[in-house]
Structure 1
Amino acid sequence: MSDTVRPTLVIGNKNYSSWSLRPWLLLRHHGVDFDEVRLPLDTPEFYATIGNYSPTGRVPVLRAGDLVIWDSLAILEYSNERWLDGAGWPRDIAARALARAVSAEMHSGFQNLRTQCPMDCVKRSTAPVSAEVLRDIERIGALWRDCRAKYAAGGPFLFGGFSIADAMYAPVALRIVSYAIPVGPVERGYIDALLALPALREWLSDADAEQRAKRESR
């Protein structure tokens, strides 16, 4: 496949689709040029169209020429190798191994947080969350604090500079904000660093516009 092929990233609603945010954020942060196809989740349009793009019927999916990649972490890994010259992971081998472990834990874990506190970028709730969610948050907070203690000298993100690990945890940060989940000062500082990213601000602006358009169409 030619390096000049312009990729297409197929995503769901920006307000709700946490898995779509992860590769989108990495690509946008690094200035990778791609086409975006946004399909509103759980709508007739989605079900009528998604089969044209994804073999699983889910988003996100990256298409680059004849290549189709339908898993968020696989998209992140491919993007890192194809367009980022490895900059998506820390350069240090030990830090890179830890970043992959941290990212894999997010990819497969924290089911209570995911199911009970779905991503909703514009939502602001003060209702208490369950003990199960708080246990997930405790583990996430421990991960974040450990990474920040080791790599804070390199920048404000988990491994200093922005990495795939941060793309994986950006939706968690948004959930903490949306559901007013209490966290400590290290976690709050990390969330603030993510929220200051121009790419994430763009995503949140688009999510807000989606919801305004949805309200106005009723």
Structure 2
Amino acid sequence: MQAMLPLFSLLQEDFPLSNQQYRLLSASLAAFSKSGYPSTSVSMIVANARTSKSTFYKHYKNKESILIHLFDLLSTALIRKVEDVLRSVPPTSKRTFQAIKTYIDTCFTHRDAAKLLMVDTVGLVPSLEKKRQAVIDQFASIFQRELSSLTCHRLTKEQWILSHAMVGAINQIVIRSLLEEELPSPVELAGVLEKMMSKLLREKSEFDS
């Protein structure tokens, strides 16, 4: 369980889970990451957690339900971390950079979980696909809100398009990075992405004027 300590530190800030649930969640992440979601059984999870099947079924219906719970917990914690940054930094491009960096850095810190939920299980669990899209939409709405504050304009269709494009770009960069042996620098990635967004905003401002 020692390898799962970063996951514990992320979740403990937000969720009052029992020790049994922490053990099951960490064990499921380890099993899914090692054997793949399709090949992982409840028996493998409880063996990793050193608990019983009755304990597992006390909390979860099946392996899909624990995967969904893991996704819900981690996505909620990630959104909270990004929102915390946005609340602590004045509304400038620096705040956008810090928010992007926090998103990327958190995904890289919890690499196994991010790879499982953003790469390895794509297309395998329909209910997870709906939740994944909902989280993408939520991050896009956060970006749209930030764009509105940076440009001092009301929400527009262009901001909606740009916010979804930026979230898509960030996610694609994270996904590609997770597939590499050595992770790139979150600072470097966030810097490039923030400059890209700032350039688009400048061009739009010049066009409008």
Tell me, yes or no, whether TM beats 0.5.
Answer: no
The TM-score, its normalising length taken from structure 2, stands at 0.34
Greater RCO (Cα-Cα under 8 Å, separation 6 or more): 1
Structure number with higher helix proportion: 2
